[in-house]
Amino acid sequence: MLNVTVNGSNTTPFTFWFTALSMMHKRSFSESTIGDDGAKALADALAKNSSLQTLWLKDNEIGDDGAKALGDALPKNSSLQTLCLFKNNIGDAGAEALATALESNEILQGLGLSWRRISPDILARIEARVNLVEDELKGLRTAAYKALLADEKVRWGRAKLMVVGKGAAGKTSTIRTLLGQSYNPDHDSTIGVELKLMRTRDWKERKQFGDADLGEQFAKCKYRRQDVAEGLLQHSSKDDLNPTESSRKSTSSRASMVFFDKSEIAKAVRTPLRLHIKKQADKPDEEISFTIWDYGGQEVFYALHHLFLTQYGVYVLVFDMREILGKERVKDRIDEIEYTKLASQEDSLETLRFWIDSIRLHAPDANIALVGTYLDQVPDSKEHEEIEHILDSDVLRRCAAKPVVLLNDEAQLWFFPIDNTDRDGKHNWVRSLRESLSKAVADKEFVKKKVPLRWSYCLEKLLSQDKDYLSLDDVERLATIYCHISKEDVSKMLKYMHELGVLVHLTTGQHEVLRQIVVIRPQWLLKNLSRVICDPSMNHMKRHKKKLLHQGKLPSNLRDALDVWSERGVASRQLLEWLWQGQPIEYLVELMHAMLLACSSPWIDDVDEDGDIVDKEGALLIPSLLQPVKNDVRTEALCGLGEQRALAYIKFKVLPKGVFQRFIASLIQSLPGLVGVRNGVVFSDFASIAFENVDMILETSGRRVTLHFKKSAKKSLKSHVKILQHCLESIDASFMRGNLGPKLFLSSDGSDSEDACASVNAFADATNNEVPSLQRGIRLSLALFSPFVEDGEAARGLYSSVTNDAKPFDVFLSHAWGENKKVHGKVRAIADALEIRGTRCWLDEKDIGTEVLDSMADGIDRCKAVVVFVTQEYMRKVNKGRTELDNCRDEFCYALQRVKPASMIPCVLDKEMVDMGTWEGRFGISWSGNPLYVRMLNGGQPDEVDALVWSIRQAIGLQEDATKPPEAAEHDDDAKKAEKTSVAADIAVASTNF
């Protein structure tokens, strides 16, 4: 409570009252002597306020005129619940105005008046109205309790509103316009993502994350089932929220022990929206709760798209109309400084195409509203028609986006022009946009889906926690004990809410440290990532560094590390610990690894020319911080490969920014002993690497990734190409929903000309040892492709392995052969037992030696899961340093990236390795939580093999579940329960045949 004293009402400006009311939910101006004039100014502000809940005006010399002004304001206010006017000079005239106001204001629940000057009839009217509201609340609380007890289902009614576009296009200002907030010309470009929650009904920002959602659902349960609720109320006392005796008798013994937090229910139902829902009870469920996401337009954050661009919402794509029209056309309308900031027309159109492609990749069925800003400078309708023509021909047709773009029916345009500086409400541009956004999601299945009311109740309790994240154990404890959700359903609830973007919980295929944390406020995640990932362009890196140095008080011993991070894109462990102090560092580091936002620095333990270590253990390379390559560096690196080069390239239907950087991170992370950066040449679009004794260069341009190889007469490049292709396909599947459409092309002479290149598809049928080139009418001899294929059989094999994404094998068996092939003999016998039980295995029958690439490309990439036979020798090999050669380590690391930890099964062969607590180094930290652990200490007895078969089937089942949307996964639950019995029976039968 804040007390404010003002000396004299005549000098108190309106802006003071507006600012004062907008800052808090509670305000006290008691004993401030504001008088009638002050009350009138206060009433003007109150009429426009939507957040104030309590207002104390005790002892302020307010008379009838001031009370009348306040009475006029109350019907316009949607939030005030308590108004105290004790010890003022209010008589019948002022009280009459307040009584009349209460008849049309159903929000106010408490009104304090000094009764001596007011007639009993008027006081009775006021008291009756206030009591009516309180009775309504009591009934609603009781009905809400009953609905929770009955475990009723309610419409979800939530969606995301994602605002995207290039930096400085006006995204944040557009959001302020939608929310009816004042224009702020001085805000900085959004760095990261800014999260807001609001309601489409009134388009006002809600200060609390869960404000009104649960209360609305409670209210609907009551008013849609009024007859049931009233029947229950007849058997309960006026104030009792506990279950009645009759309801307890009709409830199961378990349910009779169920109780819910009355204070939580009371808080939810006091929402000012409850009676609005009563009025809407007989209408269709159309109202949507939007969570607004304001995305940073800087390129560096494109790598986060797969995390937060979802199909469960609608998009607003903001662009600057001046740029689409052509900045030269508006040069005389703006000052020179602003003119220089404008992008060219082609750059702006390219940005729009990029965003539409990204949205279509991650959310192919979501609607997009194109919003053109700066209507005040481009007001002419003829210019709007011209802009529409440009958008139609250069963006919408090229991106095939017309089916999902929202039409502006009122203006008959493909986009919505708006003026973010205009708040006078004369135009209908904003209203039309709001209506279109609401209608776009109203009929979506995920909005109409019925979910348990207890899920919403649990979400409200989660959001009410004074924390940004909770441990999974704490969430499960809260959900099971206080919300009475079964542990099995907690997993379903978290998966559903993660998919819809309400919270973040990473599970399938990820590291245990990620599974053990539930991020309640995604903005916390983005805020912390934004401290490490910062756009080098647009002065964001410069601003961020200055802030860290001067405001963040960066320790002096980290100043060099700050320069390395900003210039080379490498963050030391010490810098990360300082940037993320007080935060769960291991979670954030593992998240960046899992999302390929970072990888271990390729220069760890390397020594520079001065004899100093370049990067120490724990340093991360953040590829999105890398700068584009300069022409002289590119030319020098290509010349370093020599004149005899081989070339292949991978072309995509669409190639979003950030994919190439992820490609580099994936290679370094999955092949630590086989891939090294040459001479520090790694950029955002270019990298010179050594890949398993082959010097090569990777570069990207447009929708293509080109692979340049240094030719070697003794070295086949078939497996190199396959693994590179598979890495890109993995990124496509994991982060781009499989929509990139990569296609491989090989060159016969080291150039990328059409007459010298052939699609890998052409190698399927190499007639007369020839393949057709991309240039019709020209055929090329297979001999010209000798770095990649040796003959027709090899050509067909390359085609099959690259184009067929099927996984014909269930499991890859990874092991260290051991002395005298002793371990290999055991694994061979286990493989035979697995085959008898119907599990298809990949097992190398010879020590792979130097053919580790073939083993990985032809083995791991064709299997659904991996079994690691755990021995002390295997762990020792996996834990070798990056500079040491070891096939087991490379195989293990590649498997981690390709099939993910959750699909890797440790099968223990050594008694000394039974305790997972003794597993050390890279090997020890790589396993996902509670892995499908199997003991195999007796050489593969039937019960041991049966346990392994069960674990393999579980791993494959989890992998398949990960590809299903929440709705599909839910329908499979009953089938899975039945399958468990079937699996057990299958294993029992197989055991008798072993």
pLDDT at 247: 35
CA–CA gap between residue 162 and residue 852 (Å, rounded) = 45
pLDDT band at 207 (very low <50, low <70, confident <90, very high): low
Bridge partners of 780? Answer: 771
pLDDT band at 389 (very low <50, low <70, confident <90, very high): very high
Percent of the chain exceeding pLDDT 90 equals: 31
pLDDT at 45: 86
Can you give the C-alpha Rg of the chain in angstroms?
33
Cα of 279 vs its chain's centroid, Å: 36
pLDDT at 9: 39
pLDDT tens digit string along 945-964?
Answer: 999 999 999 888 765 555 55
> Sign of torsion, CA 562 566 572 573?
positive
pLDDT tens digit string along 667-694?
Answer: 888 888 788 888 888 999 999 999 888 8
CA–CA gap between residue 128 and residue 95 (Å, rounded) = 14
pLDDT tens digit string along 878-926?
Answer: 988 777 778 888 889 888 878 877 788 999 999 999 998 889 888 887 7
> Which amino acid is located at 151 in the chain?
D
Residue 147 has pLDDT above 80, yes or no: no
Q: Comparing 78-82, 325-329, 862-866, which segment has the lowest mean pLDDT?
A: 78-82
Q: In what order do the strands lie in the sheet with 416-417?
A: 204-206, 193-199, 289-295, 158-164, 313-320, 368-373, 416-417
Residue 369 has pLDDT above 50, yes or no: yes
pLDDT band at 769 (very low <50, low <70, confident <90, very high): confident
Cα 507 to Cα 12, 214, 300, 955: the distances in Å are 57, 27, 25, 13
The three state secondary structure string of 776-843 is: CCCEEEHHHHCCCCCCHHHHHHHHHHHHCCCCCEEEEEECCCCHHHHHHHHHHHHHHHHHHCCCCEEC
Q: What is the token pair recorded at 939?
A: 């050489």
DSSP state of 863: E
pLDDT at 117: 86
CA–CA gap between residue 646 and residue 241 (Å, rounded) = 77
Start-end of H helices in 235-344: 245-249, 262-269, 274-279, 305-308, 321-325, 336-341
Is 226 strand, coil or helix?
helix
CA–CA gap between residue 386 and residue 116 (Å, rounded) = 70
* 156 against 794, higher pLDDT: 156
> Which amino acid is located at 782 in the chain?
L
Q: How many CB atoms lie within 10 A of CB 167?
A: 19
Backbone angles phi and psi of 909, in degrees to 5: -100, -30
Please report the domains of the chain, with CATH numbers, ordered by start residue: 14-118 (3.80.10.10), 465-525 (no CATH), 535-621 (no CATH), 627-803 (3.30.310.200), 809-993 (3.40.50.10140)
**Interval 627-632 mean pLDDT:** 93
Task: Kindly report the average pLDDT of the chain as a whole number.
Answer: 79
User: Is 293:160 a contact under the CB 8 Å cutoff?
Assistant: yes
pLDDT band at 92 (very low <50, low <70, confident <90, very high): very high
pLDDT at 230: 40
Residue 433 has pLDDT above 90, yes or no: yes
**Interval 431-448 mean pLDDT:** 90
pLDDT tens digit string along 29-83?
Answer: 666 678 999 899 889 888 877 778 788 888 889 999 999 999 999 888 877 878 8
CA–CA gap between residue 634 and residue 625 (Å, rounded) = 18
* 276 against 182, higher pLDDT: 182
Q: What is the token pair recorded at 884?
A: 């040491």
User: Is 922:879 a contact under the CB 8 Å cutoff?
Assistant: yes
User: Is 215:270 a contact under the CB 8 Å cutoff?
Assistant: yes
Non-local CB neighbours of 836 within 8 Å, separated by 6+ positions: 990, 993, 994
pLDDT tens digit string along 689-745?
Answer: 998 888 999 999 989 999 999 987 677 888 888 888 888 888 888 778 788 889 999
CA–CA gap between residue 930 and residue 525 (Å, rounded) = 25
* 794 against 919, higher pLDDT: 919
**Interval 470-499 mean pLDDT:** 91
Residue 403 has pLDDT above 80, yes or no: yes
Cα 333 to Cα 374, 381, 420, 482, 849: the distances in Å are 11, 17, 17, 61, 71
Half-sphere exposure of 710 (CA within 13 A, CB side): 16
> Sign of torsion, CA 348 350 351 352?
positive
pLDDT at 421: 86
**Interval 554-573 mean pLDDT:** 92
CA–CA gap between residue 287 and residue 620 (Å, rounded) = 45
CA–CA gap between residue 869 and residue 948 (Å, rounded) = 11
Give me the DSSP letters along 507-557: -TTS-HHHHTEEES-HHHHHHHHHHH---SSTTHHHHHHHIIIIIS---GG
Cα 594 to Cα 113, 307, 597, 676, 878: the distances in Å are 62, 12, 8, 20, 19
Closest CA to 324 of 254, 371, 367: 371
Whole-prediction pTM: 0.73
Residue 994 has pLDDT above 90, yes or no: no
**Interval 521-537 mean pLDDT:** 82
Dihedral, 523, 527, 528, 530 alpha carbons, nearest 10: 130
Half-sphere exposure of 323 (CA within 13 A, CB side): 24
pLDDT at 28: 63
pLDDT tens digit string along 216-246?
Answer: 555 555 545 543 434 333 433 333 334 333 3
CA–CA gap between residue 241 and residue 151 (Å, rounded) = 16
pLDDT at 405: 96
